[in-house]
Amino acid sequence: MPNSKEYSGEFMRRGRVEVICGSMFSGKTEELIRRMKRAKLSKQKVEIFKPSIDVRYSEEDVVSHEGNAIPSTPVESAASILLMGSDADVLGIDEAQFFDSQIVDVCNELASRGTRVIVAGLDLDFKGNPFGPMPQLCAIADDVTKVHAICVRCGALAYVSHRIVAGDRQVMLGETHEYEPLCRQCYAEVTQR
């Protein structure tokens, strides 16, 4: 039987990929921050990254809609995460839907090296279509947590982030003035008008 220290993580890190997904205003970033802070309290080396295009609340920090924040490193590409985060015990990635498909390989590689990778992102775009690499990340994840906002029209669990301003581009950074969480039924009613 192996020595108990081998199982404590002292000598052997066990990598994994955890995905937190859902619509806007569902608490994805809040949950990512919570998990990262817990890892830090456990004296683990943590790194967190976000796409450099996300400057809504801060150019550098990852900030939730609730105003909680954690220092992060903005990056242009998924490859940068692999280079800069290779010695982290726990690595967080926010707004993963904005990265290209290489993010899947990066997460797999980091997990194979023994890193716990926690990824947060929108699973659906404003049209209700799978968003960027999120379906592939959910497929390779060891654990997927789907969080839900509340539909602003009926109070049911939200399904999608409905865009309430004009524009057809898939990527449009925004907040409550640009998007609202809607359940499947309310979304269908709004889009059929």
Residue 126 pLDDT exceeds 50: yes
pLDDT at 124 over 80: yes
What is the percent of the chain where pLDDT is above 90?
67
If we measure between CA atoms, which residue out of 162, 95, 152, 96 comes closest to residue 128?
162
Alpha carbon 158 to chain centroid, angstroms: 17
Residue 46, classed as helix, strand or coil, is: strand
Range scoring the smallest mean pLDDT among 20-24, 124-128, 145-149: 124-128
Q: What is the Cβ-side half-sphere exposure of residue 150, based on CA atoms within 13 angstroms?
A: 3
pTM score: 0.84
Instruction: Considering only CA atoms, give the Rg of the chain.
Output: 17
| Of the listed ranges 25-34, 87-96, 144-153, 171-180, the one predicted with least confidence | 171-180
H-assigned helices in 1-127? 4-7, 28-41, 78-84, 102-112
Say whether pLDDT at 81 is over 50: yes
Per the residue annotation, which of 66, 95, 175, 180 is the catalytic one? 95
pLDDT in tens, 3-46: 444 444 444 568 999 999 999 999 999 999 999 999 999 999 99
Q: Which of 141, 113, 150 is nearest to 121 (CA)?
A: 141
C-alpha 183/C-alpha 63 separation (Å) is: 25
Is 95 one of the catalytic residues? yes
| Complete DSSP assignment for 126-187 | TTS-B-TTHHHHHHH-SEEEEE--B-TTT-SB--EEEE-SS---S-----TTTEEEE-HHHH
Which range among 53-62, 117-126, 145-154, 169-178 shows the weakest confidence by mean pLDDT?
A: 169-178
CATH 3.40.50.2000 fits 12-148, yes or no: no
Give the mean pLDDT of 54-76.
72
Number of residues that this document lists for the chain: 193
> Domain locations in the chain?
12-148
Identify the pLDDT of residue 1. Answer: 44
